[in-house]
Chain A
């Protein structure tokens, strides 16, 4: 199978008052249609790695390919389109737009691409909100939802454009075990039904163990790469 992600010799150095290198020559390939987890201690560089894959951050050195396309040489607009159409993000701090309702937040990536809605997409939004169990609060502003509800809305938002790749940074961080379990099953279902590639950062051992591959990061290096 082809690679969804192909990173070669990626380093990240923050050059502030002092230079800090947080990623060291990372080589990473992720197969299309696979379900992977990224684990490691706090501060080990998981989010940094994920953000570079998601084109939000730039590698200081090395090359990054998403679905066979070099991203380190793309223009800002090309990157924006790639993010919108091919990548679904679930951020560590869920990041909903406070001026919009849960429903509108879920719809937003679609609107960015198409400008207007269709009955089909409206149905899909409701379906996704049902999947993440938010029917009751779908018309609440995101500020009127609990942390866990916001996180679930962010998951639905990541799915709306049927992305080829979903990058999730601790998607179950704020959730109870039951909801964590249903979110895992949802992500797994998407992986199986649509062949979506998933890369999720998690601190939850049980979740990590249920993915196809565990990649462990320590101090900016891949320490362990385990096919389960």
Chain B
């Protein structure tokens, strides 16, 4: 208790020095929070951008098959798996669109509009018209519509690989955020696609989304066991895109490196300043020891100082880092949407604050130990 009082008073009586240490610590923490939160949000945005509108675990026909039958029961059992957030059956096949003198090769996607919404957010991403509501309607992408001069209400002709021709009515235009997808996907409902390709009641894949793309491989295993012996092929996004994940991992590692070194330099700075305070306060420590303060109590004075500085630095640093980060995101996204969100991970902020407090407590260990060695007689004898 007496140690705490003395620590507090020492800090108060050298305000400038206290302020400088707190600011030094705060700037370090702020940079650490800025870098950490920026990278986390960047990765999240990037991941969402890349996998948010993609199938995480996909069920395909067995090697020698081209379709999946009995798919309703499979959809039902996949829906029951933990970690699966969306299940959507699909019928995919290539086709050619011909409009007057132009033609485009596209992929006709037969989807269940309601189930597919959970993956592709079709209704939300349809910016003109609506999603198909009957078998003769089609939803086309932004770039395709622009390239072919299509608008809602136009008719388009589709030629299948087996040379059948169908005419569909454009019910809406979507934008899924990727020009490649927008150019290529021509979306109809399942029944329509089944008719066009003569598949009867069969489909060509079951697409899903999971709560966590990083465990998509494990979820794929769960799907496998849920489907039992049914002969199907199951792919997952994680195994299909190993480079993407190793890029994320190394980016994450470099972020941790930066954060660690920033904190390390801050800790070294505090340790060196606190070591100087032991020398500055050696007279006081000597007097206190002569009056009967124990070595452990004198060590506590410096530990408390480190702790108090840490708490001060953490509070200012978290606030500063927050403002810095929020301002930065606002500035870079002023032109339009940014894939980096300005949201904060509260537990990360708390962690950073805690690390600051612990780090400066650790930094005060050296001066705390040094203060034990101080012999009061040196001070008493020499005035």
Contact = CB atoms under 8 A, between A and B. Distances in A.
B383 interface: yes
A109 B295 contact: no
A218 B290 CA distance: 26
B292 interface: yes
B380 A51 contact: yes
A109 B377 contact: no
Interface in B352-383: 376-377, 379-381, 383
B291 A89 contact: yes
B377 A51 contact: yes
A99 B9 contact: yes
A116 B296 CA distance: 18
A93 to B, nearest CB: 4
A226 interface: no
Contacts of A85: 292
A109 B284 contact: no
Contacts of A77: 294-296
Nearest to A56: B377
Contacts, number: 76
Interface residues of B, number: 27
A109 B292 contact: yes
A89 B290 contact: yes
A81 interface: yes
Given A57-B377, A99-B284, A115 B1 contact: yes
Interface in B299-347: none
Nearest to A77: B294
Interface string B1-23: 11001100110110000000000
Interface string A61-99: 000000000000000110011111100010111011111
A47 B380 CA distance: 10
Nearest to A108: B291
Interface in B276-302: 283-284, 287-297
Most buried by A among B6, B283, B292: B292
A76 B383 contact: no
A81 B292 contact: yes
Contact of A47 (B10, B287, B288, B381): B381
Contacts of A108: 2, 288, 291
Contacts of A93: 380, 383
A89 B283 CA distance: 16
10 smallest A-B Cβ distances: which pairs?
Answer: A84-B292, A115-B1, A93-B383, A83-B292, A99-B13, A111-B2, A80-B294, A95-B287, A80-B292, A56-B377
Interface of B: 1-2, 5-6, 9-10, 12-13, 283-284, 287-297, 376-377, 379-381, 383
11 contacts: A77-B294, A77-B296, A80-B294, A84-B291, A84-B293, A93-B380, A93-B383, A95-B379, A97-B284, A99-B9, A116-B1
